[in-house]
Amino acid sequence: MTDRSDAADPQTRWASERTTFERVTDVLMGSTDPTPVSRFAEQAACSETGARQALEQLLEFGIAERTDSRPALYRRNESYVRWKRIEAIAADHSVRELRTRLEGLLEQDRSYQDEYGVPDPDAVVWDPVADDPDEGNQQWSDLADWQTVRRDLSLVSRALRRAEPPADGRAKSNP
């Protein structure tokens, strides 16, 4: 016999197992566009008052941003998300692993630079109306991958700086 609580749909379990603050945070972290409080309340299964209070706390913590529009719109703070990602990468990998990953990313970046003859993916002149659609699709895929390589280079290099012990042996201060 199956427990009825296990049979509940994931949305119902999520709403019952997490606080309003946690649910609003989940919704915020999953959204990138400025969003009104009413939408947060709907998606987080809470009142607008509860959503607004949570969003104001998240704003104070620097996790959320608010527009000056009326009504106010909220979105996640991308700088915070990036910082959390760097911290997680630094915590989850050894300095050796980070250096190896960085070397691999630098090699991929150099390979794309050589292949396309430009210093970065934004400098590639892409012709979507090429004679060979497969070639156009490959170029599109390469450019997306190259942009990912560039993003990862930035994250991994910052995580490596965070994970490496200071050269002078002193304790690091939090950035």
Q: Sorting pLDDT into bands at 50, 70 and 90, what band is 16?
A: confident
Give the number of other CB atoms < 10 A from CB of residue 134.
8
For residue range 80-108, list pLDDT tens digits in order.
999 999 999 999 999 999 999 999 999 99
Type of residue numbered 162: R
CATH fold group of domain 4-76: Arc Repressor Mutant, subunit A (1.10.10)
pLDDT value of residue 128: 64
pLDDT single digits (tens) 64-84? 999 999 999 999 999 999 999
CA atoms in the 13 A half-sphere facing the CB of 96: 0
SS (H, E, C) the chain: CCCHHHHCCHHHHHHHHCCHHHHHHHHHHCCCCCEEHHHHHHHHCCCHHHHHHHHHHHHHHCCEEECCCCCCEEEECHHHHHHHHHHHHHHHCCHHHHHHHHHHHHHHHHHHHHHHCCCCHHHCCCCCCCCCHHHHHHHHHHHHHHHHHHHHHHHHHHHHHHHCCCCCCCCCCCC
Structure tokens at 25: 């945070």
Domain boundaries, the chain: 4-76, 81-163
- Copy the structure tokens of residue 27: 């919704």
**What letter represents residue 108's amino acid?**
Q
